[in-house]
A and B are shown apart, each in its own frame.
Chain A
Amino acid sequence: MYTKDTSKFEEIEHTADIGIKACGDTLPELFANLAFGMLHIITGTKESQLILKRSIKIEGPSLTDLLVGWLSEMNYLLTVDHYLPNGIEIQSIERKQGNFVISADLFGQDSIPIEQNFETEIKAVTYHQLICEKRETEYVGQVIFDI
C-alpha cells in the first residue's frame, strides 16, 4: 500500500493556479504520488485514519484521460463526502478494449471536518501541460489544477 510521502511530489507554480510534479518507479506509484500531492494541496498536513475502505474503478480513452479521471474522483470524494484517503492500494492499471482502466482500494476516513482543515479548493483537474510518461527508468507526471 502506498502512503503519503511529501518527498515524492512537489508543488509547482502556475500563474493563478497550482500544480503537482511527481515520479514513481512504477505507473501505479506515480498515480498514487500525484493523488497524495493533490490531496496535500487541499488538506495540507491533515491526516486521516485508515478505517474506511473504498474500492474504485476509473476508465479513460488514454493514459492522460485516466490520470485526470483518477484525480477528479479523489477530489469529488473529498468535496462531497469529505473522504480523505491516507493509503492507496492499486491493483492494476491496464488496457481493456481500447480503454485504460485503473482499479484501486482507498483507505481513509469519511466526514473529515472540512472547514477547519482544508486549505485550497480545487475546482478541477485540467489537461493543461499534463504529463504522464515513462522516462528512462522512472515514470514522470505533472498536473495543473484550476483553483
Chain B
Amino acid sequence: MKYKNFQINKIHDYLYEIPASGEMRVPGRIYATEKMMESIINEDESIQQVINVAHLPGIQKYSLGMPDIHWGYGFPIGGVAATDVQQGVISPGGVGYDINCGVRLAKTDLTVEDIKPHLQKLIINLFGHIPTGVGSSGAIKKLGDKDMNRLLQQGMSWAIENGFGDQDDLDHTEENGNLSQADPTLVSKRAIERGKPQLGTLGSGNHFLEVDVIDTVYLPDEAETLGLFKNQIVIQIHTGSRGCGYQICDDFLKSLSHASQKYKITLPDRQLACAPIGSQEGQDYLGAMAAGANFAWNNRQVIMSLAKKTILETLSISASDLNFNLVYDVCHNIAKIEKHQIDGKEKQVCVHRKGATRAFAPGHPDLPESYHKIGQPVLIPGDMGRYSFVCVGTHKAMEETFGSTCHGAGRLQSRKKAKMMGKGRDLFHEMKEMGVFVQAKGYHTVAEEMPYAYKDVATVTDVMNKAGISKKVAKLKPLGVIKG
C-alpha cells in the first residue's frame, strides 16, 4: 500500500506501519483493516498528520493512529504520541481545544421495563434540568472566583465537597479526577470568565447525555465486576471543559508557537506548536491544561448529580432503589505524565491522547482496586441512534499503544452535508421510529448528529478488540438522548 511517497506495510490484519523516513524520528502505526486503510488514505490528510507527529522531538516508539482516525488541528483525532519527559516536547495540538473531553458511565438497578413507561417524561425533565446548547449556562449558581480557583486546583473533589457526589465517584474516575500539576494561576482571566457560568452544562456539537440499555454482554465475568447486566439502564455523559478548556488551548497555541521558534524546533505544521516539557513554557502549558482537565471532571460530576436528582424525582423512587453509581469516567483529549516500558526499561513519558482513550491493563496500580482483575474500563460512544461499547484495557495495549485505544465513531458526512440531508424531514420522528427519544435545542443539531452522519462505531471497536488492545465487554443501545 502507498500514501504519497510513503510505503505502508501490513504488520497484521489490523495494523499498518509507515517506516520512518526523512526527518521522521519514529515509524507511524495505524490500527485498521485494509478496507479502512484505503478509505483513510483517500478521505483526508490524517495519515500525513501521523507522519508529521513522528517528527516531534523526543517521540518514543511510534506515532500512533487509532481506527477512528480523522483529520484534526495539528495532530490527527485518534492520535497517540508519547514523548520522553527529559528530551521531548509537549504540544497543545496533541490534546485539542476541548481539554479532557471525555465520557462517563453511571449504572442503576433499573431495567428497561422499569423505565419504559417514564422514558419520555424522564428525557424531557433531563433536558429541562441540564443546560445544553451553545454557550449553555445556569446549571448551578454561577461560580465565584474563589470556587473556580479551588476546582481548577483540586479537581473533582471540589464537586464532592459541594454535595455533587461522593468518594466512590472519585475512586471510579481516571486520575481520581485530579491532575496534580494543575495551577490556576496559569489560566487566563478569559478562560476563567468563559468557564465560570458553564459548570454543569453539556454544550453543543457531539456532546450528549444518553439513557441507554445494556443490549449485549460479551464478557460476563468482566461485566459482573463492573456491575453491568443485560437489560440494565445506564446513563452515559459525553462532554468536556467547555469554554474554559477552549480558551486555555487557544492561549497556549500562541505562546507555544513562539516557544517552538525560541527552542529552534523545526515542525512540518505550525499547528504542532510545542515546547520542551521541562521548559518554562512546557511546564506552564502542562499546569494550565491540568487545570482545564480538572474543570472537565467537575463538569461531568455536576451533570451526573443533576441527572440523579432528575431520575429520582421523575420516577418517584428512593436513592437505594435507583442505586446510581459511577462505573468509570475516562478522558479522551489529554496529555499525561505516565510510566511505560520502553526497550525493556521503565521510562517517564508524556502521553498525548487526542481522540484516544486510556486502556490500562489488569493489575495496573492506577486502577481502582475493584477493577484490578479485569483492567481499566474503556467507554466508546457511538452515534445517537445505534450503539456504544464498554471495553477493558489489556497488557497488549501497554506493550503497543502506551495503554491507549480508540474513542468513538468519527464523522462520515460533514456537518453542512448532514444538515442538507435533514432538510424537509422530521428527524425527531425518524429517531423515535428507531426507538430513540431525542430532545435537543436546535433542529440543525439533530440533523448534524443523525446516525447517517457517522461511521459505524462497531467496526472501530472490533479492530481494537481483534488486535487485542481493548476487549469488548458490553454493547449499549440508546433509548433517549439530550443534546445541544
Contact = CB atoms under 8 A, between A and B. Distances in A.
B204 A121 contact: yes
B73 A15 contact: no
A121 B416 contact: no
Given A80-B194, A127-B270, A127-B271, A13 B416 contact: yes
B44 interface: yes
A126 B72 CA distance: 11
Given A13-B414, A16-B414, A82 B135 contact: yes
Interface stretch (B243-251, B338-346, B469-477): B243-251
B314 to A, nearest CB: 22
Interface stretch (A30-38, A91-99, A112-120): A112-120
Interface string B102-142: 00000000000000000000000000000101111100000
B416 A128 contact: no
Contact of B70 (A15, A79, A128): A15
Contact of A114 (B134, B254, B270, B271): B134
B444 interface: yes
B441 A115 contact: yes
Q: How large is the interface on B (under 10, 10 to 19, 20 to 34, 35 or more residues)?
A: 35 or more
A124 B96 CA distance: 11
Contact of B190 (A76, A118, A127, A128): A76
Contact of A121 (B44, B71, B77, B203): B203
Nearest to A69: B254
A72 interface: yes
Q: Which of A17, A18, A123, A128 has the most CB of B within 10 A?
A: A123
Contacts of B77: 16
Q: Which of B44, B73, B131, B441 has the most CB of A within 10 A?
A: B73
A121 B445 CA distance: 11
Interface string A70-82: 0010001011101
Interface string A102-144: 0000000000001100111101111110000000000000000
Contacts of B190: 76, 80
A114 B415 contact: no
B268 interface: no
B416 A11 contact: yes
Given A115-B441, A147-B205, A15 B411 contact: yes
Contacts of B444: 119
A69 B205 CA distance: 23
B243 A79 contact: yes
A120 B97 contact: no
B70 A18 contact: no
A18 B271 contact: no
A42 interface: yes
Q: How would you classify the secondary structure of chain A's contact residues: helix, strand, loop or mixed? A: mixed
B70 A13 contact: no
Q: How large is the interface on A (under 10, 10 to 19, 20 to 34, 35 or more residues)?
A: 20 to 34
Interface in A42-56: 42
Interface in B244-290: 246-247, 249-250, 253-254, 270-271
Q: Which of A13, A79, A146 has the most CB of B within 10 A?
A: A79
B98 interface: yes
B484 interface: yes
B417 interface: yes
B134 A15 contact: no
B417 A13 contact: yes
Given A118-B135, A147-B205, A15 B417 contact: no
A124 B249 contact: yes
A21 B77 CA distance: 25
Nearest to A147: B205
B94 to A, nearest CB: 15
B442 interface: yes
A14 B70 CA distance: 12
B442 A119 contact: yes
Interface in B292-334: none
A76 B243 CA distance: 9
Contacts of A14: 414
B246 A124 contact: yes
Contacts of A120: 134, 204
Nearest to B254: A65
Interface string A1-35: 00000000001011111100000000000000000
B484 A17 contact: no
Contact of B133 (A65, A115, A128): A115
Contacts of A126: 73, 271
B208 to A, nearest CB: 14
B307 to A, nearest CB: 19
A142 to B, nearest CB: 15
Contacts of A72: 250
A128 B271 contact: yes
Contacts of B441: 115
B132 to A, nearest CB: 9
B73 A146 contact: yes
B250 A18 contact: no
Nearest to A72: B250
A79 B270 CA distance: 27
Q: 7 shortest A-B CB distances, which residue pairs?
A: A118-B134, A123-B246, A121-B134, A121-B204, A123-B97, A13-B416, A13-B414
Given A118-B135, A119-B444, A128-B73, 9 more contacts: A15-B44, A80-B194, A114-B136, A119-B134, A121-B205, A124-B97, A124-B246, A127-B253, A128-B271
8 contacts: A13-B416, A15-B411, A79-B135, A80-B190, A120-B134, A121-B204, A125-B250, A146-B73
